[in-house]
Structure 1
């Protein structure tokens, strides 16, 4: 596995060439691709040239964001899927192989069974298009009880449920986005990760949790940097990933507004060191 930079996940809004420069300067192994930037380059040859420059800096690609809203009204969803192949073509030209989204863990109208069927059918359509573009789709389950309990019908919010949903789609290019924060808030431990393989894991996020809240009090958008509090067993999490033979990106996504108020170089020095400890 390699340390991966996502400036957006740290609260910074900088252009993609600057992100590439910062990732190389601060010793990251890779960075998330900016689909919008790649699209604006205008031609496959321009994208390929940009991607070659990224590789020359010693950087790998992390994970792009899926440009389809799984929860859009049906007509909007169908339109988005119809345009998906063209939308992700720059990712293919750049050599990106990973794209991801998160799974909403509740619904006000659909009960668990009907929501499950909706997810399976929509994910099958999306995954089929992405397979043609050489892309693996990562799905992130959301663990905090303070989030999934806010609507009438809770939906999947654990690793086991996410793996079962993926299996139900029958798509061979769907895997997991694992986040230590969701793993912790879902009440899981290293044993729950046993048996996972590199082929099942698309991307990884690592964070810590506040030490003044119980597990069930943790808020999805109020996390801490890795190793800040020791609430989450990051050593056990990392060891399980190594046992799985995981070779992909690991990034930090703490949702801490205070980071963007600090000098970006100071933040990235700190984050890079923390990720270096995690990936070993």
Structure 2
């Protein structure tokens, strides 16, 4: 596995080329791709050249966002499918192999069964298109009860159901985005991760939680940097990820606005060190 700079996940307003420079300078192993920047290059050939330059700097690609909202109204979903091939062409030219999205863990009008059918069908369709472009899709379940309990019908918000949905879709190129924060708020343990393999995991996020709230009081967008409080058993979480033989990106996604107010080099030096600790399994 490798440490990955995801500027967007850190809330840092960095242009793509600056993110690449900073990732290399601070010893990250990878950096998130930027499809908008790829489009600005004008051709797949130029995108491939850019990707080669990134690799020459010792960096791998992290994960791009899936440009298709799985739970969108039908018309919007169809529009996104029409635009998807052009986006996939650029990602394929760049050598990007991972895209990801999150599962909205509740719905106001669709009950669990209806929402499941919607997601399983759309997931199967989208995964087939991604497979043709050599891409894997990561799904992230959202754990905080303060979020999934806010609408009439709770939906997937834990590891077991996320894996069941993937299996039900029949797709072989779909796996998990494992986030330590959601793993913790879902009440899961290292034992729940036993048996996972590299094929089951597309990306990994590490975060810590506030130490002045109980698990069911934690807020999705109010997290702490990994190893900051010790509320989340990151040693156990990462040990399970290591046991799975995971080879992909590991990033930090804390939703802390104050990071953008600090000197960027200081922030990235700190984030890089925390990720190195996780990747090393310390």
**TM-score for both structures, normalised by structure 1:** 0.99
The corresponding residue for 2:73 is 73
1:110, 1:193 → 2: CA distance?
29
The corresponding residue for 2:182 is 182
Answering whether residue 125 of structure 2 is matched by residue 132 of structure 1, we say: no
Counting only pairs closer than 5 Å after superposition, residues 37-52 of structure 1 correspond to structure 2 as 37-52=37-52
The corresponding residue for 1:123 is 123
CA deviation map 1:234-275 (0-9, x unaligned) = 000110011000000000000000100001000000000000
The corresponding residue for 2:230 is 230
CA deviation map 1:41-73 (0-9, x unaligned) = 110110011001100110001000011111221
SS at match of 2:257: coil
1:117, 1:259 → 2: CA distance?
40
The corresponding residue for 1:245 is 245
SS at match of 1:50: helix
Answering whether residue 139 of structure 2 is matched by residue 147 of structure 1, we say: no
Counting only pairs closer than 5 Å after superposition, residues 1-280 of structure 1 correspond to structure 2 as 1-280=1-280
1:192, 1:81 → 2: CA distance?
34
Residue 76 of structure 1, CA deviation: 1.5
Contact 1:81 1:125 in 2 (8 A): no
Contact 2:71 2:118 in 1 (8 A): no
CA deviation map 1:54-111 (0-9, x unaligned) = 0011000100001111122101111211221111211100100000000000000011
CA deviation map 1:17-44 (0-9, x unaligned) = 1100000000000011011111111101
1:136, 1:146 → 2: CA distance?
30
SS at match of 1:270: helix
2:183, 2:72 → 1: CA distance?
27
- Structure 1 stretches of at least 4 aligned residues deviating more than 3 Å after TM superposition: none
SS at match of 1:83: helix
SS at match of 1:17: helix
2:110, 2:41 → 1: CA distance?
41
SS at match of 1:258: helix
Unaligned runs of 5+ residues in structure 1 are none
**TM-score for both structures, normalised by structure 2:** 0.98
Aligned residues: 280
SS at match of 2:138: strand
Contact 1:209 1:231 in 2 (8 A): yes
Contact 1:178 1:203 in 2 (8 A): yes
2:20, 2:84 → 1: CA distance?
25
1:67, 1:114 → 2: CA distance?
23
Unaligned runs of 5+ residues in structure 2 are none
Residue 125 of structure 1, CA deviation: 1.2
Cα-Cα RMSD: 0.6
Contact 2:62 2:98 in 1 (8 A): yes
